[in-house]
Amino acid sequence: MSKQPSAIDRVVMFPSHWPLADALVRSLGLPVVDYTHHRFPDRESMFRINTDVSGARLLLIADLHDPDPHFLQLALLSETLRDLGATSVGLIAPYLPYMRQDKRFNTGEGISSRYFARMVSAHFDSLLTVDPHLHRYHALSEIYSIPNQLVHAAATLAAWIAKSVPDAVLIGPDQESEQWVSDVAQRADVPYETLTKQRHGDEDVQVSLPHPERWQQHTPVLVDDIISSGRTMMAAVSHLREAGLAAPLCVGVHGVFAPDAIAGILKAGAKEIVTTNTVPVETGRIDMSGAIASALRSSV
Ligand code: R5P
C-alpha cells in the first residue's frame, strides 16, 4: 500500500462514487466514510453518517462541476460531519467552479467568485484544487480565507501528449494561455504557438493563428484550462482547419461541457476531445489522481 498523508484519517466522497475520487482513495489507501443521502419528498436533503468520525481529520473529495444544485448538499454534508465530531473537513474540489466571474463585467452584476469563495471558506477548513482559473486573481488567497493548495496538470498533460501525440504542435487558444501552454510544450518536448482571441459574447469568439505555414506536418493539439460552452475550441478548430492544418486534438484540463459543446467541437472538425478526470465526463481519460495524491503526501 502507498504512503498515506499522515494528517488525514478518512476520506469522504461526494457523490459517494465517481472515477477520480475512487482512484484517489485507492492511491491514498485511506478508509472511506460511509454515509446515506436521504431526499425528503419536498426535495430537502439529510445526511446520515454511518462511520464514527469523532475526532477524525477528514478530506471530502467533491465533484463540483455543476455547483448550483450540489453545493448546498455539500455544505450540509460537511456541517453534519463537523457536528458529529470531525476535527477538520478539508475540501478537494478537483474542478473549482465560479472562478471566471472575477469582476463586475456589466453594471449591476455580482462578482460571484468572491461570494462562492466566502461560502466554501465558511464550511471547510482547507481547499485543494487543480489549476483553478486564475485570471484577474493571482492567488486563491485573494478570495478564499482558508488554507489552499494548487495541483498543476501540466506534467500529467505533457506526459500524456508526449506518449500519445509525438508529432504534436501545441496551440493555446489565447494569449493568456501562453504561460502554461509553453510549460506543457517544454515538458513534452514539442513546439507551441498561441492564437489571438477576441470574445464578443458568451458564444461569439474569434481567433487567428500567427504562423499556420509552420505546422502543416504536425498534429495540432489545442490545449485549454476549461472547455465550457466549447465556443473557444470550436472557433480554434475551425480556424486551424481553414488554415490547412490537420484535424486537431482538443485537450482540456476541466471538461465542463455545456450540453451541445462536445458535438459542436467535433462538428467544427476536431479529431478527438480528451480531458483530465477532474470532471466525470466521457472525455476524462487523463487521470489526475496520482498528481493529487503526491501533492497531499508532500503537504503533510
Ligand atoms: C478563458 O479565459 C479560458 O481559458 C477558456 O478559454 C474559456 O473559459 C473556455 O470557455 P468556452 O468553452 O465557454 O469558450
Residue range 18-75, pLDDT digits in tens: 999 999 999 999 999 999 999 999 999 999 999 999 999 999 999 999 999 999 999 9
The CA distance from 265 to 252, in Å, is 12
Q: Measured from the CA of 229, which atom of ligand 1 is nearest? A: 13
Cα of 40 from ligand 1 centre, angstroms = 37
Q: CA angle at residue 66 from 69 to 290, to 5 degrees?
A: 130
Cα of 189 from ligand 1 centre, angstroms = 25
The CA distance from 174 to 30, in Å, is 40
Instruction: Indicate the top mutation candidate among 225, 231, 281 to test ligand 1's pocket, ranked by most ligand atoms within 8 A of CB.
Output: 225
CB neighbours of residue 206 within 10 Å: 12
Which pTM does this prediction carry? Answer: 0.93
Cα of 194 from ligand 1 centre, angstroms = 14
The CA distance from 120 to 23, in Å, is 24
The CA distance from 70 to 97, in Å, is 12
Cell triple for 271 = 479529431
Q: How far is CA 209 from the centre of its chain?
A: 26
Cα of 226 from ligand 1 centre, angstroms = 6
The CA distance from 10 to 182, in Å, is 38
**Comparing 3-17, 155-169, 275-289, which segment has the lowest mean pLDDT?**
3-17
Q: Which residue has the cell 465542463?
A: 256
Cα of 141 from ligand 1 centre, angstroms = 23
Q: Whose CA is nearest to atom 3 of ligand 1?
A: 226
Q: Whose CA is nearest to atom 5 of ligand 1?
A: 226
Residue range 181-209, pLDDT digits in tens: 999 999 999 999 999 877 777 777 777 88
Question: Which residues approach ligand 1 with their CB closer than 6 A?
Answer: 100, 173, 176, 205, 224-232
**Comparing 3-17, 28-42, 219-233, 268-282, which segment has the lowest mean pLDDT?**
3-17
Q: Measured from the CA of 177, which atom of ligand 1 is nearest? A: 4
Q: Measured from the CA of 225, which atom of ligand 1 is nearest? A: 4
Nearest by Cα to 93 from 54, 57, 133, 36: 133
Q: What integer pLDDT is reported at residue 1 of this predicted model?
A: 45
Q: Measured from the CA of 261, which atom of ligand 1 is nearest? A: 12
pLDDT at 3 over 80: no
